[in-house]
Structures are given as structure tokens and as C-alpha cells.
Structure 1
Amino acid sequence: MKNLDPSALECLAALVDEGSFERAAVRLAITQSAVSQRLRALESSVGQLLVVRSRPLRLTEPGRVLLRYARQWQALRADAERELDATVRPDERLPIAVNADSLATWVLPALDPLVQDGLLLELIVDDQDFTHERLRQGAVLGCVSTVSQALRGCSLDPLGAMEYVAVASPAFVARELPRGLHRCNFAEVPFLVFDRKDDMTQLWVEQAFGVRGPRLRERFVPSSEAYVQAARMGWGVGIVPLPQVPSELARGELVLLHPQVRVHVPLYWHCWKLGDQHRPGSTLGRIGDALVAGARAVLQPLPATGSGA
């Protein structure tokens, strides 16, 4: 395999991010023909097909391998530009994957100093049990995940445990639960669920009532903020991160159901190892340090463990 052309790797990343040759060309400020030429040159260099020209575009397995290198190259270039006091170009976005509940509670405040300092981030939202797959595929440089083991070539830092509780509006409780929520009536009560990947409601019911695989009446609300609003409006019982609802609880807009039952979800920060990413000033090091500090100010502590390798 010949030396890989950084501009071709950048082209591959742009194709994945934008989903088409046309939008990738706009992002890179080149022609569609130039995008095609760079991709063909990269495929010729490695001797394998990297992109399936379908709608939407799909990466082959070799394409996913090279995408990981493309992401790492982007981060290393951002480091070099920063150390040289160069201006990071407007199209240089660094993608990381986070879960919606973390985004709604502690991620934005944690990253705000870096963003105010000019760092360009692309936050990709997925369930905390699935963000790790995006890292494995090379779609992101780092992720907040429930996975406690580091991928080969990645590092891992414990963040803490998100604490989930059951809440409902006082009006809903008066109407639907005059005698409380219990083992004999939970199957008849509507519960709010984020999306079809979300198993938090089932986990809470299993822990609260000792029922495995409970069948529930579900109302799907795929937004952390709208989910809380739906609970306030009386759509159903919601299982929410405790750090997301202190004001609603204090104002009496929501009440805790079985407050002793709390589901703790451990979270970890994973990122690709790029040389010494923990050196002062490195892009991934700064992101990781900010997320660790921000998470530990909000989340419950995890048992002490060493970082993954």
C-alpha cells in the first residue's frame, strides 16, 4: 500500500459526514469531479473499494478502517494548527458521540469553555449503549458510552453514573395512580419511552417490582427536553436523569415515584489514541479532560478503576 494522501482521507471523511459527492464538494470547496478523483486515487492506493456508490453512500469494511485514520488525521492536524497558532479552518469539525441525556444535562456546560475558545465540534447523538459502535466504525473520534472496556487502540476514562428516577405530574398521579404505582397496576399505566433503543423504563420497572421483561404501555418521545415536558403535561410516568429535573421537582411540577428505586448507568469516555493525547494542549486530551471534569461534577462516582489501554 502506497503512502496515503491526507487530502484523499479528508475527502473520505467528508463523504461520510455529508452523505453525497455534491455536499462533500461544497464542504471541501472543490468540484464533484475532484472529489471523485481523490476517492478513486485512494481506492487505487489501497487496492480495494472503499465506498459503495448508493443512496445513501455506504462504506465497505476497508473504507471504515481508513475512516478511522482519516478521523485521527483530522485531530492531529487540529493539534498542529493550534500549536502553530494557526486558525482552524471552518470545515474542520471534530465529531464525538454522546447520549441524549448527557447532552441535556452536563455535556454542553463541560464543553462550553472549549467551544468558546474556538474548538469546532460535531456532537452526534445516539443511545449510550450504541455510541461505542460509532467509535469502532471510525465515524467519531470519541464517545460517551456504557461500555467499560476500551477498544484496541483506544483509551478509556470513567465518567460516573447517571442516576435515573421515576417521575410524574401531580395531576397524572391523582388521575391514574390514586393508590400509587405498584406491582399490580404498572402494566395498565402509560410510561414514556425515549425511542426503541431505550430500555431504561424496563430496567426501572424490573428493579422496582422484580418483574423480568415487563410488558408496558409505551408512549415514545424521542427528545430529552420534550420527554420531561411530556411528563409535566401528564402523558405518563417518565424515567429521567435526576440531574435533569431538580427545578421541576422543587416547583412541584413533577413528583418522585418510589424515590428509593434508582437505576444507575455507568458512563465512560472513549477516544482513539493519537500519540500522547494527554499532553497539554492536545485536542482529544482537552476534550477528554473537560468531559471528565464536567461529568464528575454532576454524576455519581464510580468504583475506582484504572484507565483502559
Structure 2
Amino acid sequence: MNPIRLHTLLTIVDEGSFEIAAAVLGISPSAVSQRIKALEKEAGRVLLRRSTPVTATPAGEVLVQAARQMALLEAETLAALRGRIAKVPLSVVVNADSLATWFKPVLADVASWDQATLQLRIEDESHSLNLLRRGDALGAVTKEKTPVSGCDSIELGSMRYVSVSNPWLLDRYTNNGVVDWEKMPALRFGPRDQLQTTDLRGRVEQLPNTRRISQIPSAEAFVEATRVGLGWSLLPIQDAKPLLEAGEIVLLDDRVLEVPLYWQRWRLESPSLERLTESVQQAAANMYSNI
């Protein structure tokens, strides 16, 4: 298929708009539309949903994945041939807790490379594979072991979480030494965050229909909301340890929730992707060094 049309398709999906894609490509919106119509005619399928933002159809996702692979290989080839810095787009999906803790050394590694740029997307580890399947990422930190078609799955280890709260919040919702899990306010990172619900199973006979749940979509703010008593939460041990030692939060019990993590990446011969994979594995191997 025409590589210019594929690149146009990728740009539209990344930017979410025909008009913005036209500005990025330096052509008219009409030219963008003509390229996509020609590509759809060639594929015999509708490739884009003309919504806001514009998204790829299942057929379009296949071509977006191919276009992203081509972009990576092209950038690396230019870097190798011309011997100069080229932007190699390493698109990665990672959950917020990992990014705020063990993943940080990966940022330092990539900073030392001359020919790479890192594009991170924050997504719950349960849903990151959707972005990998669509071709929106080259690699993803996920809790799913089974590899996506065309990808390799590498075991990284487990994130360990503990249930904690502000001391006064625990006192307020403790009756005769028993925590009132059904009524105590709770924290959730986002609408797809199921860790807290998973942790509640086994603590209560039935999950309550109505609970006070605050949504805090920032790893740093989530820790702070726990510290000040907005709700109880599950924190990575790395985040909880200093606050526990300072007495600003307390453990609700001795349970430790372990979430296995895997690195799924495209099965693609790419020096940059190989280097990134090595960096992710090394960072994960050091996950508990500061616990």
C-alpha cells in the first residue's frame, strides 16, 4: 500500500482530527481526505470513524499498526545511514503506579540515548493491551501474560500493594476493633481501576452498592489524598513505606495484594525497541531494591 497514505492515516489517528493532521503534514484538509478515500478504496474497507476524536475501525487498526512499524523502521534506517540524531518514536503504555515507582530508571536510560524519543501513555495495566492491539504502542506494561498476536510477553515481577489510611480515618470507621469496610470512604485512581474492588472481596460478604469513592487520577495526588484522609487506598509498598514510618498513614491489615506485571512488545527487529526492553527488564528487576 502507498506509504504516504499510510502515514497520513497514522497522523490522523494520533492527532484525532483531519484538520490537525493536515496542519502537521503541511497539506490541505482536502488532500488529507483524498488520501484516506484512496486508501479506503484500496483496502475495500472503511478505515476511520468520522467522530470527535477520529478513531480507527478494526480494519484501520491493522493498517495503523503497520504504519507505526514502518515509521519506526524508517527513523532507525535514517539514523543509521545518515549518522545523525533521528527521532525514533518509542510509544509505550504504562500504568501510573509503575511510572511513579520502578519505571523511573527507564526514563533516565532513554535520556542518555542519542536517537530516541519516548512517548508514554498512562493506562491501567488491565487495559493497556487494547492500545497495543490497535498499534498505538510498541510496548506495554500489562498484567496479561498471554501475548497479543505478533508480540512477545516477558515476565517482569509483581507490584505489591498494601491497604492503608490516615490514622484518624481508621479510628472513625473502626467498631470494637473491626474495620467497617462497607462505610469507610475509599480512593480510586480512575474508572477502570479495579484494585480496590478486588481487595474488598473476601473482606465483605457482598460489595456495597453505594460507597463514598473519590477518584484521583494522579499518582502523586493519590498518595496525598490517602495521607490527608480523603479515603483508604491500596498503595504500592514503595509509596507507603516512608509514610508508614513517619506515622502519617497506618496499615489496615497485614494483607499484601500482588499484581503480576508483564512487558508485551511487538515482535519486531528494532535496535531501539530491544534496548528499551532491556531497560524495562532491568528496572523491573530492581523493583524491590528500595523496599
Give TM-score scaled by structure 1 length: 0.84
Share of identical aligned residues, percent? 36
CA distance in 2, matches of 1:199, 1:68: 29
CA distance in 2, matches of 1:101, 1:124: 13
Q: Does 1:111 align with 2:107?
A: yes
- Of residues 53, 56, 59, the one that matches 1:59 is 56
**Corresponding residue of 1:236:** 231
CA distance in 1, matches of 2:64, 2:177: 52
Contact persistence 1:159–1:299 (CA under 8 A): no
Instruction: Give the C-alpha shift of residue 268 in structure 1.
Output: 0.5
CA distance in 2, matches of 1:200, 1:180: 25
CA distance in 2, matches of 1:86, 1:199: 45
**Corresponding residue of 2:155:** 158
**Corresponding residue of 2:144:** 147
CA distance in 2, matches of 1:175, 1:54: 48
Aligned-residue CA RMSD (Å): 2.2
CA distance in 1, matches of 2:176, 2:79: 61
**Corresponding residue of 1:305:** none
Contact persistence 1:100–1:224 (CA under 8 A): yes
Instruction: Give the C-alpha shift of residue 77 in structure 1.
Output: 1.9
**Corresponding residue of 1:306:** none
Q: Does 1:100 align with 2:89?
A: no
Deviates more, 1:193-202 or 1:12-21: 193-202
Which consecutive segments of 4 or more residues in structure 1 shift more than 4 A? 178-181
Q: 3-state SS of the aligned residue for 2:101?
A: helix
Distance change (3 Å), C-alpha of 1:156 and 1:82: farther
CA distance in 1, matches of 2:24, 2:90: 14
Instruction: Give the C-alpha shift of residue 181 in structure 1.
Output: 4.9
Give TM-score scaled by structure 2 length: 0.89
Q: 3-state SS of the aligned residue for 1:268?
A: strand
CA distance in 2, matches of 1:174, 1:156: 44
What is the one-letter code of the residue matched to 1:98?
Answer: V
Structure 1: tracts of 5 or more residues without a match? 301-309
Give a deviation string over 1:226-275, Cα, whole Å, max 9, x none.
111101111111111112233222322222221x201100011111111x
Instruction: Give the C-alpha shift of residue 43 in structure 1.
Output: 2.1
Structure 2: tracts of 5 or more residues without a match? none
Q: Does 1:294 align with 2:283?
A: yes
Distance change (3 Å), C-alpha of 1:179 and 1:82: farther
Give a deviation string over 1:60-84, Cα, whole Å, max 9, x none.
2211110110111122223223333
